[in-house]
Structure 1
């Protein structure tokens, strides 16, 4: 029996949602699993080819409507994130950044011309986007950003640096957030413009199957039409982060499930002291406790998805999901690693790769500490951020 089957979790899904999840699982089995260990080992992933495959299945901006997007339910989108991250967190990050950050920003705050120009190509995987918010000195405090855009006639001049930007080395465009005289606004920036420099970040020990870079803007001239007309203030990029965090609530469970399934398979076939490892009480206790946490996380994600589909999901609720599910997923990965002994650190098995990836997932889209403070503020009415 699998961790998914113990509580009959799939019985809570509609037939359409279950079928969508199955199609993503098959794609991951065909396109990701045979190669991901090598991608992780070499730090090189064929992102553009992969994006086109994901686009064919409607996974890029899947929860958005119109402009070539699939328009699936929030739960269906979450399930796709789970299945993608069961393959690798870096693959799910590609989809999250493309759909929930770059595409969502244009879909929510862009002009009709921007939507028509970019969204159909991005949905098909023909154009890859990234999301420029984090800076070298400003991660958890985006309000401290130093990237600025100033008027020069009818144009804008954009200057600043963005760091740890997923998809940047392979992207055609970036949604970049900058301070202007009126506050914070966003721009759609083609990355082939003069004054744009993209530097790939190497020597990562986590998310090695994901392309990560630095964006440097040196008085990049942008037409007035590059500005996202409906993006006013810091709430705009933060709303995009809420979209991406929701996908992480589900995605982290995919890594956890893959670790659990690997540990169950290994311990039922590995013999020590004359019997399978799974026949020992300590092993079964670990598997029972880890499966319990997986199922609790899945039920939490499912509840948040139903809230989202009814238009009731709030940012602090997403913080609850992100805080719990990533924290539990990394604990599951670490404990599953111990059940494989020395084999647990081998690239022949996915567990150490998942554990390393989850170290990044624990930090990005809001650290655990940030989400604790978000929840604490809602509970007490007092802000402890400053």
Structure 2
């Protein structure tokens, strides 16, 4: 860096390049020519940037390479701004450049194959928190939690914890768990590692996979209750140590276990990476081992429920760009009476580009669900009445009071009709 004794002159106009239609880019790219200068002002101090090019001669021992051009930027400033430049301005520039690169780069989704290797493709899922059909308060709580997490590097280091956060998404199928994962990835600009545990042969392979993840990434295990044995560890410890059980235990140790997964989620291996999100999904939260659910492993439990009136309005705006329609009162009244998933509502709204037709189709679907629910309830009531008719209980109570009036003896007699015309007394 050089010092700048005088005020910098304004830069010449930068040369904009045209939008690249071949690569599908819609953003204007602005560049500088060699030798061109640009002035920047930061907290009252002026800094001058200049694009410098220099030619590097070819290595005589390298027959395939010739001379090449190296491009770099130089910044100059007055010597009285040296402290500000080194301690404030340049760290700010580096951080801003990193944030821009993170925001602009394409995201990848990884899947495990061949036991302990990852392969990736570009993640192009368009889901965002703006388009996500869920309760606004719940959505905002998730966003606030994510934003707080990525700003707490020094905090996690100070309290002696791995810089990670666990989320459990649970609820019926079709309630938007996968869309929420994609929205989190797009919000944080994190890659996704979709771990298929049934494709992992052992805890050792699992450990190699997880260590191979990059920082600023999301580990996803979908349907966690269906992929590995979730037997309570306390029950396993209480089993008698017979010869056959020891053999089975040895075989189990060669398989992927819940304990092996927990060692990465919250054990010593959890410190092998930083700024990571861990997400487990399940349709049946009650089937999961409590050890998996405690804070520090799954820090935030997010229930993905059936479609609400608020979620419906978001979906209608997503698919038909409307804020209100004459059918809204009827649709919202029906949604409060029946159970319908956001996926079912979205499917109906996608079937027709005509908004009126699509919304009336949704009314028909909700009415059909209400009719089916009423019929099921009626059948259940009739079945209950029939069962009550088969078993009739009567009770007679005899009360005897002794002469001294101090003790009362109750004698109960129950008679049950078992449907065969015979009485049974107890």
Q: TM-score, normalised by structure 1?
A: 0.25
Higher strand share: 2
Q: TM-score, normalised by structure 2?
A: 0.24
More contact order relative to length (CA 8 Å, sep ≥ 6): 1
Higher helix share: 1
